[in-house]
Amino acid sequence: MKILTDSNLEAIAKKVEAGIHVTDDDALAMLSTNDIMGLCSIAHNVKQKLHGNVVYYGVNMNLNYTNVCMLRCPLCAFSRDKHDADAYVLSLDDIAAKITQAGDIDEVHIVGGLHPDLPFSYYEDMLKTIKAINPTIHIVAFTAVEYDYLSKKFTIPLDELFTRFKNAGLGSIPGGGAEIFAPEIRQTIAPKKISGQRWLEVMAIAHRNGIKTNATMLFNHIEKPADIVDHLRHIRTLQDTTSGFKTFVPLVFHEEYTKIKAKRKEPTGYDIIRIYATARVYLHNVPHIKALWMYVGEKLAQVLLQCGVDDIGATYYDEKVVHSAGAKTPAWGSEPFLQHLIRDAGFTPLRVNASYVPTR
């Protein structure tokens, strides 16, 4: 039976099979095709060559140490001004209690805001506090936006900042803050945030210091297909130089309580599948493509495992950011729940930390 019905995809499949890198025009063709089964077959073949039948998942907790942020980006429903009634900052005792309460976890995922008053010691001590409770916990902490802010505020060069945080317990860096790199789009959705170019510079310095990172892309707001391709191209180009990105994570924008009106309140299944499958094919040099089940829903996350995705995300106890913007998924999922999703799709689940080191 002929799987591919789109002639553009036939040409792309031949390139991928021959080990030829696809072009920007190829990416645009994949982002517009209605031949979803054909597109997924190409992406799935890439995934199988890299990871076989394995699908990765994590057992972790989310730690949002503050919701105070000076940027107050229009795309964000989580941030608050410091005098708002529901603004908060977790003390180190609060953080210690949350880590202890989380129990059998392998990883802590830390993201906050740009708080104007927290001392530098707060950040170092946060990492040390977590490691003192459990030295084996892998800490994935602070976005490129937070690193840029801390470096400038405390006049500490990024190289030194990364060294100090590594010594305090930092394991790797999440991909947040990338949003979409296109300047004219970024100006509308996050006008005060660092530029896409600066985000890439911060990541390049982290990679130079031996710290692996994720890369993200926020879609379904006001971006165009060309902006998505531009974003992917920048990731692929930097990866050619540093090999520091371990995972690419597309994130569906949720508009509730934000100041941005999305292209669609709920993107179609085809919209989402096109993004993930195209990313898997285009980003030939990035090892992993992750679909956070909390962002796309557990049912579609399962489908995406047939479309190039090899990582379904994690348990994410106490997630706050996407749920502030209206995500309807639960705020956490149990390990058996994630294992069931993976096995039910015909794959073999493997529990790992953020560096893809097996933990069981």
Listing DSSP states for 6-20 in one string gives -HHHHHHHHHHHHTP
CB 82 within 8 A of CB 115: yes
pLDDT exceeds cutoff 90 at 262:
no
Return the closest-CA partner of residue 227 out of 260, 186, 280.
Answer: 186
pLDDT exceeds cutoff 70 at 50:
yes
Assign 330 a pLDDT band (cuts: 50, 70, 90).
low
The answer for 356, left when phi > 0, alpha when psi is -120 to 50, beta otherwise, is left
Return the closest-CA partner of residue 250 out of 207, 204, 215, 281.
Answer: 215
Q: Which residues contact 251 (CB under 8 A, 6 or more apart)?
A: 216, 217, 218, 219, 292, 295, 322
Assign 299 a pLDDT band (cuts: 50, 70, 90).
very high
pLDDT exceeds cutoff 90 at 40:
yes
Output the pLDDT for position 103.
87
Return the closest-CA partner of residue 24 out of 292, 266, 235, 241.
Answer: 235
Segment 295-308 mean pLDDT: 94
Return the closest-CA partner of residue 162 out of 152, 173, 175, 176.
Answer: 173
Q: Which residues contact 241 (CB under 8 A, 6 or more apart)?
A: 204
Task: Give dist(CA 227, CA 129) in Å, integer.
Answer: 41
Task: Give dist(CA 68, CA 81) in Å, integer.
Answer: 5
Output the pLDDT for position 326.
59
Output the pLDDT for position 320.
62
Task: Give dist(CA 103, CA 336) in Å, integer.
Answer: 16
104-147 pLDDT tens trace:
899 999 999 999 999 999 999 999 999 999 999 999 999 999 99
Assign 239 a pLDDT band (cuts: 50, 70, 90).
very high
Assign 327 a pLDDT band (cuts: 50, 70, 90).
low
184-209 pLDDT tens trace:
999 999 999 999 999 999 999 999 99
Output the pLDDT for position 322.
60
Q: Which residues contact 238 (CB under 8 A, 6 or more apart)?
A: 200, 203, 204, 244, 245
pLDDT exceeds cutoff 90 at 258:
no
